[in-house]
Every structure is written in C-alpha cells, then in structure tokens.
Amino acid sequence: MSSFLYRLGRLAAQRRLAVVAVWLVVLVLAGGGALFNKGTDDTFEIPGTQSQDALDYLGRVFPETSGTSAQLVIVVPSGQDVTQLASAPTANAVETIKKTDQVASVINPFDPNPMGQVAGGEQPRIQSAISADHRAAIVTAQLTIALADVKQDTRNQLTDIGEHLAAAIGHGATVAVGGPAFSNPVPKLSPTEGIGLAIAFVVLLMVFRSLIAAGMPLVTAVLGVGISVALIFTATLFTPVSSTAPMLAVMLGLAVGIDYALFLLSRHRDQLAEGLDVEESIARATATAGSAVIFAGLTVLIALLGLSVAGIAFLTTMGLAAAAAVAVAVAIAVTLVPALMAFAGERLRPKTPKPQGKHGPQRARISRAWVRLATRVPLLTVVVVIAGLAVCAIPAADLRLALPDNGTEEEGSPARDTYRVVSEHFGPGYNGPLIVTADIITSTDPIGVVNKIAADISHLPGVASVPLATPNPKADTGVVQVVPAAAPDSAETEALVKAIRGQHQHFQDSYGVDTAVTGITAVGIDVSKQLSGALLPFAILVVGISLVLLAMVFRSIWVPVKATAGYLLSVGAAFGATSFVFQQGHLASALHVTHTGSVVSFLPIILMGVLFGLAMDYEVFLVSRIREHYVHHGDPHEAIESGFISASRVVVAAAAIMFAVFAAFVPEGSATIKPIAFSLAVGVFVDAFLVRMTLVPAVLALLGRRAWGLPGWIDRRLPIFDAEGDALIHELRLADWPSPDSDDAINALGLRRVDDRGRDVYAGVDITLGRGQLLVVHGHGPAGKSALLFTLAGRVRRIDGDLKVLNHVLPQHINTVRREVAVISCHETLDPAADVATALADDVQLILIDDVDVVLRRDARERLGQYFSDRKASFVITCQDPALIGDLLPADAVTLELAAAPLEVSQ
C-alpha cells in the first residue's frame, strides 16, 4: 500500500493542475445531480415488526389513512367556547381545504356526523377533536400522498387557510397549522458551525504558524463536504434519505477531512524542515501519513457500514451516506492535498530548521511533563481514570431512546408550535395516538366488536381516551384510536403499548379477532427496541475488528486489549454525559437544548461506530510512535516518553479540531443532530485526552516489555498491516544498499527468525551472493536452513533484518521475488535436475534447492553438478554436510553453516 501511495503522491504533485481540475469536475457533476433531488424523507420504516406490518396493512384496507396528514388547531381565549365562535367559519374553511391540492379528506370537529354513519343501530365510537375545556378544536386534513411527496405549495395553501380562518373567527382566536405533513424540514446549517471552522483554523495556525498551511485543510475539507452532500442529495432520486444523513455527513466530513489533511501536512513540513526536496517529501508524506489516513478511514468505513447489522433500511442508508463522506475525505487527502502542497512548494517549508534532536525543547516541555505525570505512579493513573470514566457513565443507565417527532422540531416551526398547542389543550398523548387494528372479517357484529375492544382498552392504565373505534367501509378491519396519558416518547406510553399487545389473546378468545398495535409512536418503540437489540452484535463486531486490526498493526496482544477497553470507556462516558444533559436536563439551557426526555434511537449505534474509527486513529498515531522508539532503543519506559512527545502535538491538534467541529453543531443543530454531535464531541474529548494521552501511557508503563509480545503462532498467521508506511521507509533506505550500482543476487544483513517459543531458528545471517555464484547452507539437526531458504524465496512475510533478492527489497516485493525465483525441494520432486533445467529454460536468475544431499541417483547428481559448474544462474542449496555433496560443488562455492545448538551462524 505505501509503495502505491508513494507513486500516487508523486504523480499528484507532478500533475497537480489535472488533479485539481478532476476534483472540480466531480464537484460540478455531483452538484448537477443534486439539483434534481427529491428532498429528504424522515419516514422511519422497519419492515417485519408488528407496528410496521399493521401500518402497511392499514394502508391497504383503509387507503384513506395511508397518506400523511395536516392539522389546523383552533384556540380561543379563556372563557370562550370554540364551538360557538368557530363552527361556522370552520365549515367554510373545510370546504376550501377539500379543494386544496393533495388533500383527500377533511374531518370537521364540529360536524356531528364526521364519518358519515348511518342512522339507527349501534354506532361507532367517534369523539370530536374538541378539548375538554372547549377552548380548542382540531381540523384534520388527510392527504393523498406520503410525507416525502408533500409539496411546499400544499403547506403554503394550508397555512394561508389557517390565517384566514383565524381572522374569520376573530375574538382573539389563533389557528396553528402543522402536523405530520409539516415535519420534513430541509437540513440547514447555522452560523455556529462556522465558529467550529474558525476554531479549527486557529488550532491549525498554532500548529503550523503559516496561513497557507492552516488554510489548506479547511479548503479541502469544505470541498469534500460539498461533494459528499451533493452525492447524498443525488441519491434521493433512487432511495429515501433522512434529513439526519446529510448533517451527519457534514459533521464527519469536516472533522475527518481537516484531520486527514493535517496528518499529511504535518509530516510534509517535518520532512521539509529536515531538508528533503519538495516533490520527494510530498511522495513520502503521502506514503507514510497517507497510510495512516487509509487505515483511519478504513476503520471508520467498516464501522459505518457495520450499521447495516441492525437490519433497518433507513439506518443502513444513513451509514452509507456518512461512509461516502469519509471515503471522499480519504480520497481528497491522498490526491488533492498532495497536489495543493505541490502548488505551495517552498512556501510550506518551515523558516526555522528542525532541531537536531527529535523535539525542540519548548515544544516538548508540556508533553514531557504530562507523560511523566501520567507514568510516575501508573497504577494510580489507571485507577483514577477508570474510576472517573465509570462515574461519568452512570447516567447512561437512564438513557431513553425514541424516534424524532414534531416535539423535537425547531422552536418556532409550524410543526413544533402545533405540537405544543395540542399538548397543552388535549394532553401530551394526543400528539402520538396509538392505532389498534382488528381483523373482523369473520365477525357478525363488526361495530359491536370494535366498541367492546375500545371499552376494554379504555380501562388499561395509561389511557387518556379512546376517541375512535370504527370498522372500515368493507367491515373487514376495525380501527381503534388510543390516546395515551403520557408523551409519545415516555416510559408510560411504552408500557401501554406492551399492555395492549398483552391483550391479544384476550381479544382472540373473547371476540375471535386478531389485533395489532401500530401508529407512529408504536413504530418508534419497535425501532428503538430493534436498535437496542442490535447494539450487542454491533459491539461484538466493532470490538472484534478492533482487536484484529490493532494486533496486525502492533504485533501485540496487550495493545489491542488495552485500546479496545479504552474505547469502551470512552463510549460509556459519552453515553453518560448525553443522558445527563438530554435525558435528565442538566445544562440543557446552557447548551440550548429545548427538548429533553429522550434521544434519537440510532444515537448509540452511530456513536459506537464513528467513535470506534476515531479512537483507532488516535491509538495508531500515538502508539506507533512509542513502538517505533521501543524497537530502535529497546527501553520501554524511554520509548513511552519519546514516542508520546513525537506524536502529542498532532494528536492534540487533531482532537481539538474534531471536538470543535462536533461541538459547533450542538447549540443550533436540529433536535436529532444535537445529541449525536454532543455525544461525539464528548467521546472525542474523553478518548483523545483521557484515554489515549493519559490512560495509554500509564498502562504501557505498567506492562513494560510485555506490552509488545505476540505469540509466534499468532504472529505467523496474522497478516501484516503497515498503518504508518514503515515498509516504504525501509524500502527507500535500502534503495542504494549495499551500493547504488550493486547487482548482486542476494544481499542480507542481520537476518533472524524465531520459533513459537521465542527461540532463534537462525540469527545474525549476513549474505552477499553475486550473480552466477553458489551458496551452500548447511547444518545438522533442527537447524534453520530450510526456513532461511524460504525466507530468501519470498515465502515469508515477516522478516527481521535487511534483505534484497535480485535487487528487490523484501518483504515489500515478495510477489515479484516469488515469480522470479525458483524453489526446488528434493524431498518432493522425482528429478530435481529436470526442475533446474526447466527453471533455466525460463531464464530464472536465482534457483534455491532444499536438501540436495538426499539426491542419490548418479545421473541426477552428475547433471546437477554440471548446472552448478556452468552457473547460468545463481544457486542457493541446503544440505546437512557439504562433505556429502563434494562431487557437486565447484571449488569457489560459498558455505554458510547454521549450527543446531546453540543456534548460531558462522560463515
């Protein structure tokens, strides 16, 4: 990967104008598609649940209820009677509403026969929507279409009718126009998000001390967000997209877009300060910091795509939208950022050269003091941090989940005002009535059955009223409307839904009908339940991925375990803080939180997914520096301090920027996005500053050398993931080794391999094998001659030491070496000489033969001896004792002995 990124970075620098042009074309094309968008759709559906199935069924048998609806809530002053004042003007307004585009039917609260019942016999239960104090009444307009298809023209006409109705009633009457049809706002940004960008710019300016360098990440991040949001709105042409999706994409796109550009720019400027050429520095920064960006973006993408485990379509769409924003940010970081760095050229080179030491004394002072404080008594640090975060997580036990409704809309909006007025005059439950459907197709008394069901439900705790109980025109389905006494997102309403569903068997036994509970409130409860059930599988997925990825990067058991535990602590603290503000109401006014009591159902799973990727980003950037120092110097405690000082500046800047971007969405964001932004801001702060920069150094200090151990059997089976571009640095270091004009077949220095118990298989192996030369590797017993042979053949991915085969650096080019080197095992072939002949015919330049001393046939030995003498290729052969193959070897053959005990090498 790093080699590819190295070439990509150099190409972007050389073709910088073309790269910028391509991204501008992408922006124009995405923007063009967005112009035809169908708008967002906040209809949350969850197929397979009782509520959704019943709602779909109701739409088929009661088509007049399948569309969305609007409300005109009439309120007269205290002491007045709404019926006396508003009855006649309302009748005229109802006739006007019926003629409005997209309106199917209208229910007049003052009509004594609103459903058109037939006189005589038992009547359906139908209560007019007039408040108990006779001050308010609700006119309901049923629309022909779903929420996403409501035209703004229709909303405007209904609003105008409401204004005229209020004027016609007079006497200080008001008419609030809203309802579900008004609850699909267009996502919009506020000036506070700009404050977040301003803070980010200040942080970047403090880090880089350059206006050009500070502005570049902002430009690329804003461009990436523009492309992402345009693509998301283009997607509305093909699939429903909630209004939360583009806002989540904006938050994530800005945060990761700025951070990813910061990583590349920081590495580039450090290299320029060391005197590197601009183009070479861009290529190396793209390969090294770009590898970290790819890793960070990959982890976020995996987590966001993992949202699909919940099995909920709108959540999957939301995850895909956010993932698109992250993918665009990654692509821009490794293409457009290098191009812009090339345009800036020498202007990005720091004016003061980098000090000879790794860190300037001024810059390192605070970092050194902090890491020494954290590791002075590491056990105390661990206990204090874990205890503190555990306390922060306590309020999470009270966290309630619900889907957003009109009560969470922006203050002053028609939907929110109508919701408030209905709640004041009719009770909070009237905004989220439950619908009970009954299959009455076999009933001989459909009206009587639904009335009895209504009577039974009215006696349940938590029921405010049962205003409607009626069969449909075909008398095959009964509908009972239940108004809870509590708010739609309350625990009491959830308990009522459970209680009504618990009456299913009673209704079946008593009346012979099947029932189901539906309605927006019931759908929200089922969505929350399914999302809560998906949290554990999702957590297992995320934790499992975390353990595997970090084990691949750091070749350690304890580092992944510690990182995952820290991530879970961060998640718990973020949940607790969110519950403390949005559930319990503390600091709500200070943060401009206008709706408390519950948070959006998908917050936990989104928080876990997004924070996972960000936490792994900080973990890799910090711990990789510590590991690098440990590998080079071997002192675990010195490595913690040196590595921490190396990485802390960029980690602090990245976390501060991300915190500022997320926090900026809290004061003026929508009620749906506020808790998500708040929880992410808290999560980033806790994870970066308390977990990664405090807990991690303390835990590593406690573990010492044990932190970097990985059992051999795991090490060999676990793929290597180069998250920091170390492979490229290794390859560049060996590019001119042992000399620029070297054309040797093999160059090896300090090769070593250990077994599962940590014992040397071979160690300290140095080889210089020229073209056309022959090397004999020998040894008795369990010597590692075969293991060394397979290392030279590119069959081993993990190599300790420096190795070039046919001028290819290993392990970076193992696939090339495998193609160009022939390996022959004399234990497995019937005629090794024939295999050598085939390899020579294919123009193979290096042939490796294992256990050549087992070849006993005279003709085969003679032919092998001839090939070794002619040496049209270079040979490495293994045997137990060179004396046994003396007849095969030319006089100038080089021997390398691998002793069995102790396992040492001599040449």
Q: What is the DSSP string of 725-781?
A: -HHHHHHHHTTT-S-TT---SEEEEEEEEE-TTS-EEEEEEEEEE-TT-EEEEE-SS
Range of the domain at 80: 50-112+124-184+417-523
Please state whether 4 falls in left (phi above 0), alpha (psi between -120 and 50) or beta.
alpha
Q: Is residue 200 part of a domain?
A: no
- Identify whether residues 835 and 890 lie together within a single domain: yes
Q: Is residue 871 part of a domain?
A: yes
> Which residue has tokens 């936490």?
615
- The confidence band for 303, taking pLDDT boundaries of 50, 70 and 90, is confident
- Domain end, chosen from 470, 501, 523, is at 523
- Identify whether residues 556 and 477 lie together within a single domain: no
Q: Is residue 408 part of a domain?
A: no
User: What are the tens digits of pLDDT across the range 727-737?
Assistant: 777 788 888 88
Q: What's the confidence (pLDDT) of residue 30?
A: 94
Give the Cβ contact number of residue 633 at 10 Å.
Answer: 11
- The confidence band for 355, taking pLDDT boundaries of 50, 70 and 90, is low
Q: What's the confidence (pLDDT) of residue 728?
A: 76
Pairing between β-strand 136-143 and β-strand 69-75 as defined by DSSP bridges:
antiparallel
- The confidence band for 907, taking pLDDT boundaries of 50, 70 and 90, is very low
Q: What is the DSSP letter of 883?
A: G
Q: Which CATH number characterizes residue 539's domain?
A: 1.20.1640.10
Q: Is residue 487 part of a domain?
A: yes
Reply yes or no on whether the pLDDT at 361 is more than 60. no
- Domain end, chosen from 523, 550, 565, is at 523
- Domain end, chosen from 710, 745, 778, is at 710
User: What are the tens digits of pLDDT across the range 498-549?
Assistant: 999 999 999 999 999 999 998 888 888 888 888 888 888 888 888 888 888 8
Q: Is residue 727 part of a domain?
A: no
Q: What's the confidence (pLDDT) of residue 363?
A: 59
- Identify whether residues 28 and 65 lie together within a single domain: no
Q: Does residue 244 or residue 156 have the better pLDDT?
A: 156
- Evaluated on CA atoms 659, 664, 667, 668, the torsion sign reads negative
Which residues are 848's β-sheet partners? Answer: 823, 876
- Identify whether residues 387 and 428 lie together within a single domain: no
Reply yes or no on whether the pLDDT at 756 is more than 80. no
- Identify whether residues 876 and 758 lie together within a single domain: yes
User: What are the tens digits of pLDDT across the range 480-501?
Assistant: 989 999 988 888 999 999 999 9
- Identify whether residues 657 and 537 lie together within a single domain: yes
Q: Does residue 67 or residue 578 have the better pLDDT?
A: 578
Are the C-beta atoms of residues 106 and 139 closer than 8 Å to each other? yes
User: What are the tens digits of pLDDT across the range 78-94?
Assistant: 989 999 999 999 999 99
- Identify whether residues 532 and 651 lie together within a single domain: yes
Please state whether 360 falls in left (phi above 0), alpha (psi between -120 and 50) or beta.
beta
What count of Cα atoms within 13 Å lies in the side-chain half-sphere of residue 515? 31
Q: Is residue 721 part of a domain?
A: no
- Identify whether residues 677 and 606 lie together within a single domain: yes
- Identify whether residues 596 and 691 lie together within a single domain: yes
Q: Which CATH number characterizes residue 743's domain?
A: 3.40.50.300
- Identify whether residues 688 and 763 lie together within a single domain: no
Are the C-beta atoms of residues 519 and 59 closer than 8 Å to each other? no
- Identify whether residues 680 and 770 lie together within a single domain: no
Q: Is residue 548 part of a domain?
A: yes
- Identify whether residues 234 and 143 lie together within a single domain: no
Are the C-beta atoms of residues 702 and 378 closer than 8 Å to each other? yes
User: Amino acid identity of 836?
Assistant: V
CB neighbour burial string for 120-142, b if at least 16 within 10 angstroms, e if fewer: eeeebbbeebbbeeebbbbbbbb
Q: Is residue 723 part of a domain?
A: no
Residues of the chain with pLDDT > 70, as a percent, come to 93
- Structural domain count, the chain: 4
CB neighbour burial string for 871-902, b if at least 16 within 10 angstroms, e if fewer: eebbbbbbbbebeebeebbeeebbebbbeeee
Q: What's the confidence (pLDDT) of residue 903?
A: 33
